[in-house]
Structure 1
Amino acid sequence: MTQVNPVPPPTVTLDPAPVLRENPDRDRYELWSGDELVGVEGYERTDSGDLILLHTVVTEKFGRAGFARLLVSQVLEDAADRGFTVTPVCTYVQQFLERFPQYRSVVAD
């Protein structure tokens, strides 16, 4: 059984709550609070539709408050829900997967 480490919520509460949106035209997921961009997870799609996660970026205003964690956890959950696997090239995602092993099942072999 995989160890489950709860993902801590961001240390700042936003109103409205952040929402994950996929923007396939720009090859990225975006985390939005209302009309304000919080962060992005850039990706490439493989021929089979799976994701290569390239970089995680949180805007300066929202940095160091746990929004990268929220972004990555939601991207991984979305991939799992949609039956995709991910290849984590981004070092932040690699470190996230070490800290939260419950998400490793979505990583491509």
Structure 2
Amino acid sequence: MTTPVPVPPPTVTLSPAPDLRHFPDRDRYELWSGDELIGVEGYEHRPDGSVVLLHTVVTEKYGRAGFARLLVSSVLDELHDAGIEFVPVCTYVQKFLDRFPQYRAGVAQD
């Protein structure tokens, strides 16, 4: 059993607090604060029902403040809650899994 490693919050506090929005018609999750886009997690569906996490992008304004970490942890939590496995193609997600191994349980097995 993997001991959970706490995921630190962003180093900047936003008002309103960031919220994750899912846009299945565009195959992506977006992190927003009010009407301002913070970042995007793009994915594609696999025939087995899992999703391939392709890329994590945070706008320059919010870079290096922990918002990519918040975006990825929020997406992985949502996938977990929905019972959906994922394939971490995105290098940021791969590094995130090294740092926070409790999320590895959601990786799809080939």
TM class by shorter-chain length?
over 0.9
C-alpha distance after superposition, 1:12-46 (max 9, x if no partner): 00000000011112110000000000000000011
Deviating runs (4+, > 2 A) in structure 1? none
Indicate the residue corresponding to 1:37 in structure 2.
37
Hey, what's the Cα distance between the residues in 2 that align with 1:82 and 1:47? 17
Indicate the residue corresponding to 1:86 in structure 2.
86
Q: 1:1-109 residue pairs with structure 2 within 5 A?
A: 1-109=1-109
Percent of aligned pairs sharing the same letter: 72
Moved more, 62-71 or 44-53: 44-53
CA apart distance, 1:47: 1.9
TM-score of the pair, normalised by structure 2 = 0.96
Hey, what's the Cα distance between the residues in 2 that align with 1:75 and 1:46? 17
CA apart distance, 1:4: 1.1
Secondary structure of 1:84's counterpart equals coil
Secondary structure of 2:80's counterpart equals helix
Secondary structure of 2:14's counterpart equals coil
Structure 1 segments unaligned to the other structure (5+ residues): none
Hey, what's the Cα distance between the residues in 2 that align with 1:104 and 1:10? 22
Hey, what's the Cα distance between the residues in 2 that align with 1:103 and 1:44? 19
Code of the residue aligned with 1:35 in structure 2: it is D
Hey, what's the Cα distance between the residues in 2 that align with 1:17 and 1:49? 31
Secondary structure of 1:3's counterpart equals coil
Q: Give the superposed CA RMSD.
A: 0.7
Hey, what's the Cα distance between the residues in 2 that align with 1:84 and 1:96? 18
Structure 2 segments unaligned to the other structure (5+ residues): none
Code of the residue aligned with 1:16 in structure 2: it is P
